[in-house]
Amino acid sequence: MTLMAYNHVPVPAFMYGTAWKKQATRELVQLAVELGFKAIDTANQLIHYDEALVGEALHALAKKGIAREMLFLQTKFTPVSGQGGRSPYDASADLAAQVEQSFASSLSHLGTDYLDSYVLHAPYSRRGLSQADWEVWSAMEDLYRSGKTKMIGISNIAAGQLADLCERANVKPMMVQNRCFAALGWDMQVREICRAHGVIYQGFSLLTANGAVLADPEVRVIAEKLKASPAQVIFRFAMQIGTLPLTGTTDIQHMKDDLRAEQLTLSAEEIRKIETIAL
């Protein structure tokens, strides 16, 4: 199954996230791809990710016949404030140069000459978009126009900010990646804006941010009916509402289970129930 944003690049419907894997990053990325994940998410942010080890995994996979072109690679530009003092670019350079340097360093870590998706890790301001956001976005637009990345996107963005970006940018984002809380209707407002603009919505922390939903008796009944786990039900629910889920599992059985979620089918009534379960 693939998804498509307004610029018609096919994107696999499930993504493997590489945060917090540390030294196990290489082994886990290899395993995830060998088991069937076709899209990888990382970031050039040393405090949470190890892009270079993702690159080593890709190198090992290529040797086994899984070429880079067979995979969808997404990484992020992380502003200085999110780098914990270990910025992979010159933190005193102007913002456009920071994006350029970080992008070049990502390509080098990942051993590739292009990205499928390049994401701004978070806006610089909590409310509205600041001058810094527009400067960085303009540098990302340049990368998109140059063909070095097939898509550009933004993460951790509020509905008002996204509406503004979609309206005023020269190149609208093709991707949004947000933490997805059931209590906010699974980020309903942001998802609506994405739908209206042909932007793919990626949801993370679907399980970890929604513990009560996983334990909910109604979700458990649906899971039992489908002979699946509540986690699988949530991943499939996400896909059926048009969300691209991320999983960061470190467990081989969970990797298999998560992938198998693609084969489940929830009824319209079950979808409606889960979509509004925490409202």
* Residue ranges that bind ligand NAP, judged by CB under 6 A: 17-19, 41, 121, 155-156, 177, 204-208, 229, 231, 246-251, 254, 257-258
Angle, helices 230-240/217-226, rounded to nearest 10 degrees: 90
Residue 245, strand partner residues:
203
Closest chain position to ligand NAP (CB): 248
Amino acid at site 26: R
Amino acid at site 93: A
CA pair distance 102, 75, nearest whole angstrom: 10
Closest to ligand NAP by CB, 23 vs 92, is: 23
Contact 75, 115 (CB under 8 A): yes
Eight-state DSSP code of residue 227: T
Closest to ligand NAP by CB, 19 vs 80, is: 19
Rounded to a whole number of angstroms, the minimum distance from the CB of residue 20 to ligand NAP is 6
Measuring CA to CA, how many Å separate 135 from each of 94, 146, 231?
9, 17, 39
Closest to ligand NAP by CB, 30 vs 247, is: 247
Containing 269, the helix (H) or strand (E) segment is helix 268-275
Contact 146, 107 (CB under 8 A): no
Rounded to a whole number of angstroms, the minimum distance from the CB of residue 5 to ligand NAP is 17
Closest to ligand NAP by CB, 58 vs 268, is: 58
Rounded to a whole number of angstroms, the minimum distance from the CB of residue 130 to ligand NAP is 19
Closest to ligand NAP by CB, 93 vs 215, is: 215
Rounded to a whole number of angstroms, the minimum distance from the CB of residue 159 to ligand NAP is 16
Closest to ligand NAP by CB, 40 vs 129, is: 40
Rounded to a whole number of angstroms, the minimum distance from the CB of residue 253 to ligand NAP is 8
Rounded to a whole number of angstroms, the minimum distance from the CB of residue 102 to ligand NAP is 15
Which residues have CB under 8 Å from 190's CB, separation 6+? 157, 158, 159, 162, 176, 178, 201
